[in-house]
Amino acid sequence: MPESVFLAACRREPTPHTPVWFMRQAGRYMPEYRAAKAEQSILELTRRPDLVAQISLQPVERLGVDAAIVFSDILVPFEPLDLGLSYAEGEGPTIRRPIRRPADVERLRPVDPGRDLAHVLEGVRRTKAALAQRFPAVPLIGFAGAPFTLASYAIEGGTARTFTTTKQFMYEHPEAWHDLMQLLATLAGRLLALQAAAGADALQLFDSWVGCLSPDDYREYVLPYTRHALALAGEAGVPLIHFGTGTATLLEAMAEAGGDVIGVDWRIPLDLAWERIGDRAIQGNLDPAALLAPREELGRRVREVLRRADRRPGHIFNLGHGILPGTPVANVQAVVAMVHQGA
Amino acid sequence: MPESVFLAACRREPTPHTPVWFMRQAGRYMPEYRAAKAEQSILELTRRPDLVAQISLQPVERLGVDAAIVFSDILVPFEPLDLGLSYAEGEGPTIRRPIRRPADVERLRPVDPGRDLAHVLEGVRRTKAALAQRFPAVPLIGFAGAPFTLASYAIEGGTARTFTTTKQFMYEHPEAWHDLMQLLATLAGRLLALQAAAGADALQLFDSWVGCLSPDDYREYVLPYTRHALALAGEAGVPLIHFGTGTATLLEAMAEAGGDVIGVDWRIPLDLAWERIGDRAIQGNLDPAALLAPREELGRRVREVLRRADRRPGHIFNLGHGILPGTPVANVQAVVAMVHQGA
């Protein structure tokens, strides 16, 4: 594969320009995604490797981003785990059989990701093949949900605001919590490694909701499991991105858990975050809401992120979280152009 | 009024023990609150000064806290503003006429808090009179929502997760945003000062959702208005508490905006937060979810907060956000005992 600015930045090597990609770069905001998706739910899409490849390439073609990410969902392991996962049109996930008692952890069906998530891996393979043919210089990112974020969905039964049910489970049933996190960490780590074996050139672990925790809770209830997941993923030998939101006080601990690249959101200025994580690459950190701002305001914000990164090797431009549904495609294109031009 | 440990701590004077109170200490978790509330909505309650006094005193009697807070709601100004505020049983607020366009700001009805929120001020007066009679050493806290948090409810139309609509309004219509924030800041500041005139011994400004913003956005779109609100409130000459959640990267700017006491949540260790705010008192910062933990785990967490505060004058023990509905009263009582005993 030809040299990639994205992979070079993951290794903190100097690059001719700052690489850029976007979380949820394939998604509802894009007309060609909506056309390909038709009436299917996200879960149905993830079972169609041909559509996965097609959708994953859309932003490469339309936006000229420096990396593709395989189209999937962090909750795909909930299907073989038998948690009763579904998505209603335009809604977040619903988990019909949430984990509420220790016995619920014991009843989880054992999952072999190579077998039970073979469709996801086939999606990676097809996407990589399509990229190799049409965009051979563009690397592919595989991903998985981190143990805490997966556990929070499994316990809350869907999208949450305060994560009280998750915390209560964690405090009341520390042994069952350990078993659940161990299981999810192994599953996430193996799923990541298998995606690399299927052709992914880098891997991202999404710990989207970990920012609801105090640093002490993170260290006690989360860090060992995230470390385990990243260690398993690391056996694949490709760069690892470790991402979370609201993590301003967790960054040192997250870096300790692992990741060649640490993903941060807009709540912390990029240069301050970089000081805190030390010798790692960094990914971020434009507020996704900025893509809804007038062009001048958007430009000002993109330049501010670039100014704080200061062309220091190891910056991957991205948002602090996924692209929002109503985002104008032209604004996303404009950001790619600005980042590539260095202003 | 006899000397109060709470007021002394606000002034960073040494106290015989650490003062403690809880946000939402009068609320659904308490059986006597549910009995007094009966079928009435929160808004109906705020129009009944006799019930306001009764409910505000419940936690003083039951928990032995070092301060009372007047029972009210940060959204009470939305009624005279004619935003169509309502609360369904057990649900968050709904705003039937949200602010979505600049014209919506212009149509806001002018509010004179002394006249239009006279029932709230009468609640303060009655509560203070009841305290003076039954608990003369316990001071009363009045409060208001901060301009950003009020604006976010008005724009989102209720409780939000990403605050995208608010940010979009802010970026697209900076002049209307300015007008709205100026109006809300004046309203909040005057409402606070009037509560002090009605008998409140301290005032808290709740900027509960400001943690969704980057530090740059906070400084540009929020700080001037919060400063204005706190300046108006400060004319009353009583201690001001400035509170927010998720504010780990905003603390310096929040302290700059004002407040004798800065309230912080559990996401930042208390000692680190204190270093960042400098010469102010600090309020916090137990995770409300800890009150749902087994007693031993809860005790460990309370001791950790006290350890980080280290009896340095100017610590007011509190949660990092309001008491959660399912909290056992006995756990809240246990925390008061632990804090008063210093362990």
pLDDT, position B94: 96
Do residue B324 and residue A290 have CB atoms under 8 angstroms apart? no
Q: For residues A21 and A318, is the Cβ–Cβ distance under 8 A? A: yes
Given a cut of 90, whether residue B91 has pLDDT beyond it is no
Chain A CB contacts of B269 under 8 Å are 214-216, 249
pLDDT, position A331: 98
pLDDT of B24-54, one tens digit each? 999 999 999 999 988 899 999 999 999 999 9
How many helices and strands (H and E) does chain A possess?
16, 9
**Nearest CB to B248 within list A217, A249, A297:** A249
Integer Cα distance of B183 and B166 in angstroms: 16
Do residue B246 and residue A249 have CB atoms under 8 angstroms apart? no
Total domains, chain B = 1
Q: Containing domain of residue B69, as a range?
A: 5-341
| d(CA A160, nearest CA chain B) in Å | 9
Percentage of residues in chain B having pLDDT higher than 70? 99
- Is the pTM for the entire model greater than 0.95? yes
pLDDT, position A1: 66
Integer Cα distance of A107 and B304 in angstroms: 36
Mean pLDDT by 10 residues, chain A (343 residues): 91 97 96 92 94 98 98 97 91 95 95 98 98 97 98 96 96 98 98 98 98 98 98 97 98 98 98 97 98 97 98 98 97 98 90
Phi and psi torsions of A262, nearest 5°: -110, 130
pLDDT, position A155: 98
Integer Cα distance of B74 and B42 in angstroms: 11
| d(CA B201, nearest CA chain A) in Å | 31
pLDDT, position A187: 98
pLDDT, position A114: 98
Q: Cis peptide leading into A318, omega within 30 of 0? A: no
**Nearest CB to A249 within list B162, B171, B267:** B267
pLDDT, position B343: 78
- Mean pLDDT over residues B145-168, rounded? 97
User: What CATH number corresponds to the domain at position B184?
Assistant: 3.20.20.210
Q: How big is the A-B interface in CB pairs under 8 Å?
A: 97
| d(CA A192, nearest CA chain B) in Å | 28
Integer Cα distance of A67 and A9 in angstroms: 12
ipTM over 0.90: yes
pLDDT, position B1: 66
pLDDT, position B39: 85
Q: What is the average pLDDT value for chain B, to the nearest integer?
A: 97
Q: Roughly what angle, to the nearest 10 degrees, separates helices A270-277 and A295-309?
A: 30
